[in-house]
Amino acid sequence: MHIIALGVNHRSAPVEVRECLAFADNAVPAAIEGLRAAAGLHEIMILSTCNRVELYATCADPEATREKLVAGLSGFHNLPAARFADNLYFFRDAEAVRHVFRVAASLDSMVVGEPQILGQLKDAYALAVEHEATGQVLNKFMHRAFSTAKLVRTQTNIAGSAVSVSYAAVELARKIFADLTDKTVMLVGAGEMCELAARHFITHGVRRVLVTNRTHARARDLAAEFDGHAIAFGDFHNQLDRVDILLSSTGSPTYLIRPEHLAPALKKRRYRPIFLIDIAVPRDIDPAANEMDGIFLYDVDDLQGVVAENIDQRLQEAERAEELVALEVDKFTGWLESLKVTPTIKELRRLAAGIAGAEVEKTIAGLGDLSPRQCKKIEAMAGAIVNKLLHAPVTRLKEEAEHGNQVPVEVVRQLFNLKNSGDRNQNPGDHQQRETGSTTPDA
């Protein structure tokens, strides 16, 4: 039995290829069933995001399964395989495990350390569980991926610093104002960057948002999204004394905010500080404002510098994260190896139980009239002897298998003449009930 991962991501394929292979949420159940049937798989799940489309599965023959999955993708999307085959990557066994653990820990993301991918992976797994497309191996695999992601986040600072301009603004504001809950933010302009930054500010506690824009209707609409207030563009200078944090991003060819606008506002505020964030190009705020006491002005280059520094910090943390992932990969692949001895252990237990059962029957028959309680005691004693005799060799078999040593397995099969090897190459999940468990475990 092997674990495989097949897919494309933002590095291996351009967006025009990724969008052709993407699965809409309502199409995933049919895709799971179709691909599982096409490739003859016991376990499969699909992860589809804007940056990646990946299939995770267990199989007996990785190369044959790869070909079937490529054909299945081609058929499902009505897309010639030649259109995307060169963009596909394919991992098996330890490399597949490492890849998925890195995906879960956001080490394979476009922005290293971003948290969304773990939630997307959990959702993909939950959907596969709901449609009974997972079994013993993928369940254990996903739960271990989630716990690895948690380990990376708790033992490194990979997600602890801002790597977007809008979030960097929030990070700087939190350094100037320790608590943002009583602060007022004004947005000068109602574009995407202002909107995104406002969402970050609200997430971090800001409760009052003022919005001004040359088109007042747009200001009113954006303010409504944040339960804020729209300010007439011609009047916003008179409202600056109310503002603790101002974020400006317009298309103005000249400065909109100058020292002469800020001086009266500072006086009314009794010189409590104002944090100005100018992400417009050309700039909206006169750089001379930065010379004023109580004014903290950052432009887009300042914020980009913060982002670059934080990206470097994340990459350093990523190196530590890779070490943690490597350790977890070794643990999980050891568990996978141990599954290879499961059929032998079952046969050994079956043989021992059969011998013990036959001897118990002969013994009870030879002892004459025994009560049911006495018979049960004899049966229990025989069972205990079997369990105690097998405990040490079974434990040793598992340990050796976890380290990749299959020699003891063959020795045991020869010593005990275990000829029934028909199930030795089957998926271990076929031998037991599916362990669906929780789709959102405490990772």
CATH number, position 182? 3.40.50.720
Same domain, 192 and 249: yes
Can you give the CATH number for the domain in which 9 is found? 3.30.460.30
Q: Is residue 300 domain-resident?
A: yes
Question: What's the whole-model pTM score?
Answer: 0.63
Domain assignment of residue 326, yes or no: no
Per-residue pLDDT of the chain (443 residues), as tens digits, is: 899 999 999 999 998 999 999 998 899 999 999 999 999 998 999 999 988 999 999 999 999 999 999 999 999 999 999 999 999 999 999 999 999 999 999 999 877 887 789 999 999 999 999 999 999 999 999 999 999 999 999 998 887 665 667 777 887 888 888 889 999 999 999 888 788 888 888 888 898 999 999 999 999 999 999 999 999 999 999 999 999 999 998 988 899 999 999 999 999 999 999 999 998 878 999 999 999 999 999 988 888 777 777 777 778 888 899 999 999 998 898 888 777 777 787 888 888 888 999 999 999 988 888 899 999 999 999 999 989 988 888 888 777 776 666 667 777 778 888 875 444 444 444 433 334 344 433 33
Q: Are residues 76 and 7 in the same domain?
A: yes
The residues that are catalytic are 50
Domain housing 173: 165-305
Indicate whether 227 and 262 sit together in one domain: yes
3-state DSSP of the chain: CEEEEEEEECCCCCHHHHHHHCCCHHHHHHHHHHHHHHHCCCEEEEEECCCEEEEEEEECCHHHHHHHHHHHHHHHHCCCHHHCHHHCEEEECHHHHHHHHHHHCCCCCCCCCCCHHHHHHHHHHHHHHHCCCCCHHHHHHHHHHHHHHHHHHHHCCCCCCCCCHHHHHHHHHHHHCCCCCCCEEEEECCCHHHHHHHHHHHHCCCCEEEEECCCHHHHHHHHHHCCCEEECHHHHHHHHHHCCEEEECCCCCCCCECHHHHHHHHHHCCCCCEEEEECCCCCCECHHHHHCCCEEEEEHHHHHHHHHHHHHHHHHHHHHHHHHHHHHHHHHHHHHHHHCCHHHHHHHHHHHHHHHHHHHHHHHHHCCCCCHHHHHHHHHHHHHHHHHHHHHHHHHHHHHHHCCCCHHHHHHHHHCCCCCCCCCCCCHHHHCCCCCCCCCCCC
Verify that 21 and 155 share a domain, yes or no: yes
Number of domains in the chain: 3
- For residues 196 and 145, state if they share a domain: no
Same-domain status, 90 and 45: yes
Task: Tell me, yes or no, whether 280 and 184 share the same domain.
Answer: yes
Looking at the fold, whether 146 and 12 belong to one and the same domain comes out as yes
Give the residue among 287, 283, 279, 281 at the shortest CA–CA distance from 262: 287
Alpha carbon distance 329, 141 (integer Å) = 10
Whether residue 234 sits in one domain with residue 187: yes
Give the model's pLDDT for residue 406.
63
